[in-house]
Structure formats: structure tokens, C-alpha cells
Structure 1
Amino acid sequence: MSRVNEMERKVTKFGNSLGITMTDALKQIGLDLGDTVQIDVNQTNGEIIIKKANKVSLPDGVSPDFLDTLSEIMSEYDQTLKGLKDR
């Protein structure tokens, strides 16, 4: 069973931003400098959930340039593709 460690921190100013320090909490879930996180905000109850982002790797032979090009084409032909879907 997982154990929840409660921590209390003060919101401080970092440059032009507000933030909190939580190095120990991040280390507990295996996060380190440069890692990507997913942040879910529930405005109703004031809850913020920070999770490790799922790392997705491209299959062998698929370059990042291909995905960039595919994304551009899908954006350019968005309405056409939606029209084909409804046929």
C-alpha cells in the first residue's frame, strides 16, 4: 500500500513567477532536473496533481521530422480530413 507524505510549503517568488520548493517530494517519485511532468489542476477543490510524464519513444525508422511534417499537414488539411471522416 502506498504511503502519502504530507508536506507544507510557502509560496515564494522566483523571478516574475510564484513557486514552491519541493525537491524531496520530486525525488520520492524519481524526478530529476530536466524531466517532464504532467500537471492537472482542479479549480473546484484547489488540488494540483503533478505526475511523471509518460516517456514515448518513436519506433525505429521514424524520425522526429516526420512527426513535425505530419502535424503540419494535419493542421493544414484539418477540415478536409474531418469531411472525409463523415462520409
Structure 2
Amino acid sequence: MAIRKLTKVGNSLGITFPVEMLKTANLAFGDELEVEFKGEEIILRKNKNVKLPKGVDAEFMEMLSDVIKEHDEAFKGLVDR
């Protein structure tokens, strides 16, 4: 369990997660989450029903994700160039 604080994001409230937590949950920037409310509990799940662009299948996206993870440091180094 981790304690997180709600923060102001424009006219809304948001929550941030440490990178380690996101990696554990296999989440990345742009991923869609399903949100379910059960009383005072909030359940977040990665949306697995995302529609992919025409010509892109789930196998390609998984392969691309693996490449990105494998070369994460190199991609981060390219950001500042």
C-alpha cells in the first residue's frame, strides 16, 4: 500500500504515481484506465479494449512496448538532443 495525495490539475484533481509503481502495474503515459467506484474504494484497471489504429495489431504493440522498455535509457538520452 502507498499513500498518495490529490493534487490540483487545472480545474480538476489528480493523483500521481511513482515510476516504480507504474512499471509494476505495466502502465505508461497515454494508457487508458478503467475507473470503478465501490463505496469509498476506487478501483483502477488498465483498459485492454483500446482501439488500435488501422493496420496496427496487439502483437505489434506488444513488440513495440518490449523494444521501448529494452532501450528506455537510450530514448531518454535522445530527449535532450
Distance 2:8 2:50 in 1: 33
Q: Which runs of 5+ in 1 are unaligned?
A: 1-5, 59-87
1:8-87 alignment runs, 5 A limit: 8-24=3-19, 25-42=21-38, 44=39, 46-55=40-49
Aligned residue-pair number? 52
- In the TM superposition, what is the alpha-carbon distance from 1:57 to its structure 2 partner? 6.0
Deviation at 1:56, TM superposition (A): 5.7
RMSD of aligned residue pairs (Cα, Å)? 2.3
Larger Rg: 1
Cα deviation digits, residues 30-57 of structure 1 (max 9, x gap): 0101111111111x2x000111111466
Query: What TM-score comes out, normalization by structure 1 length?
Result: 0.49
2 CA distance for matches of 1:40 and 1:11?
A: 17
Under a length normalisation based on structure 2, what TM-score does the superposition of the two structures give? 0.52
Higher strand share: 2
Which sections of structure 2, spanning at least 5 residues, go unmatched? 53-81
CA distance, structure 2, for counterparts of residue 49 and residue 28 of structure 1: 16
